[in-house]
Amino acid sequence: MKLHGFLTTLLAIIATTVTVAAGYKLSSRPVLRPMPYNSRMPFPNPPARDSKVCVVNTHGDGVTDDSFSILFALWDCNDGGHVLFPRGETYTIGTALDLTFLKHIDIDIQGRIQFTNDTTYWQANSFSFIFQNVTSFFKLGGEDVWIYGDQNGAAVCRARTTPNDARYFGDKKERLMTLLSDGTIDGNGQVWYDTYAANIYTLRPVLVGIDGLRDSVLSNLVLRHSPQYYHFVANASNVVFNNIDIAGGSTSKNKASNSDGWDTYRSRDVTIMNSVINNGDDCVSFKPNSSHILVQSLSCTGSHGISVGSLGQYPGTFDIVESLMISNITMRDASDGARIKVWPNTPSAMSADLQGGGGSGRVSNITYEDMRVKNVDYAIEITQCYGQKNLSLCQQFPSELVIEDIVFKRFSGTTASKYEPLIAAFACSSDKVCGNITATDIKVKSPKGKRQAYCLNQVTRNLDVECTSNYKGFN
């Protein structure tokens, strides 16, 4: 009887997934418009894949696991097909999915994908990335993968997103946005925010976990309520993120912690562009061994800035972050605009679940340009004392990770009052491991019109600010 039931279910799935999509309209593949720069490598541009279409079946009740239907459609249309999640449908994922087999496939998300709130299952079964206890609901990899929502649907949602929307989730306005949002992936994060508040060692999955993806594009997607990071991009090359709408706040007293927009790790030639991010942690963060990354034309609200690091966390490791271009960024209501954070060469603790220090490596050839800030604590912050509030101890044990060839140019706007009159901090643990830092055409002012910066172990002084030793603290 059980076998008969299984075969009946399987045949029902086949009947709906292995058909040319009669009556369905496929989304057009997004047009990628890089501004102001082109990436180092040409964007992926494969031929159309619409000769075979797999329409994914769903139970549609918002509770029953649709993972098998999704996996079946992806397998069936892999290597040359087009998978469609139709408009108006909701898909629920309650099983960890290894999607590293994908190749030469379009995944067209017109409906809504959500994850179950079974925190016990996900902590036991989500995929581990080793680094900083990162886990994910699913692991996305392979080559020549295009994942996108409907161009018009994403645009409707973005037009209705304001800088304050992340603070109003759960009300009628948010539900209206949800109904209008095609191409939505929802992490059902509230249960995770509350669980993490009760136990900081809870393993919270990232919403989009990438491992080994190459020559691929993710575009026109609406991402909501991630339990932790929205993207963790590991071991990837030539991947483009375009027109992504990120937001998600808590409806309880427990905030949505560590909600980075993107974290890159052991990846190169990644482009992140034309996106809106409302979150509570780094808008973009470059973790160890990230290189040739282009980040441009973003609007970030409520974040910790666009950050290199943290780096040098683990003794015996050699971290490299180099050749980054960050351009045309608007940063509002944030702790930082441009940020580089490195652990010192002594055990330090940012929090009970985030500790480190003693690693080595280098940060080099980094450019931040054309950044507009409003109500940001520090427009620019460099620290080699991350996690260590004792500056004397930090200088006694200077970082073994070198920071060099860093450029900040054409910054404008007004900082918050938190560190008045400081607008920036350049804190090196030693001038021997931190140098050739330039900041030009910096027109940022504090609320009272001052343009001072805290400077520690700065030798070259190629800084378009007034340096002071007046320490105001770090984030």
- Residue ranges of the domains in the chain? 2-468
**Of 230, 232, 237, residue with least CA distance to 144:** 237
Q: Which of 104, 231, 292, 304 is catalytic?
A: 304
Q: What are the residues whose beta carbons fall under 8 Å from the beta carbon of 61, sequence distance 6 or more?
A: 92
Q: pTM of the predicted model, to two decimals?
A: 0.91
CB atoms < 10 A from the CB of 252, how many? 11
3-state DSSP helix/strand/coil % of the chain, to nearest 5: 15, 45, 40
304 included as an active-site residue:
yes
Does residue 439 contact residue 455 with C-beta atoms inside 8 Å?
Answer: no
Q: Cα–Cα distance between 209 and 136 in angstroms, integer?
A: 5
Q: Are strands 138-149 and 103-109 parallel, antiparallel or unpaired?
A: parallel
Identify the burial level of 2 via C-beta atoms within 10 angstroms of its C-beta, where 0-12 means exposed, 13-18 middle and 19 or more buried: exposed
**Of 98, 102, 103, 101, residue with least CA distance to 128:** 98
User: Domain 2-468 carries which CATH code?
Assistant: 2.160.20.10
List the chain pLDDT tens, one digit each, 475 residues: 444 444 445 544 444 544 445 679 999 999 999 999 999 999 999 999 989 999 999 999 999 999 999 999 999 999 999 999 999 999 999 999 999 999 999 999 999 999 999 999 999 999 999 888 899 999 999 999 999 998 654 443 443 333 333 332 333 333 333 344 479 999 999 999 999 999 999 999 999 999 999 999 999 999 999 999 999 999 999 999 999 999 999 999 999 999 999 999 999 999 999 999 999 999 999 999 999 999 999 999 999 999 999 999 999 999 999 999 999 999 999 999 999 999 999 888 888 778 889 999 999 999 999 999 999 999 999 999 998 888 888 889 999 999 999 999 999 999 999 999 999 999 999 999 999 999 999 999 999 999 999 999 987 668 999 999 887 765 4
Q: Which residues of 168-189 are buried (b: 16+ CB within 10 A; e: fewer)?
A: ebeeeebeebeeebbbbbbbbb
Q: How many residues comprise the chain?
A: 475
pLDDT confidence of residue 353: 78
Q: What are the residues whose beta carbons fall under 8 Å from the beta carbon of 8, sequence distance 6 or more?
A: none
Q: Cα–Cα distance between 380 and 371 in angstroms, integer?
A: 10
pLDDT confidence of residue 2: 43
pLDDT confidence of residue 342: 94
pLDDT confidence of residue 473: 65
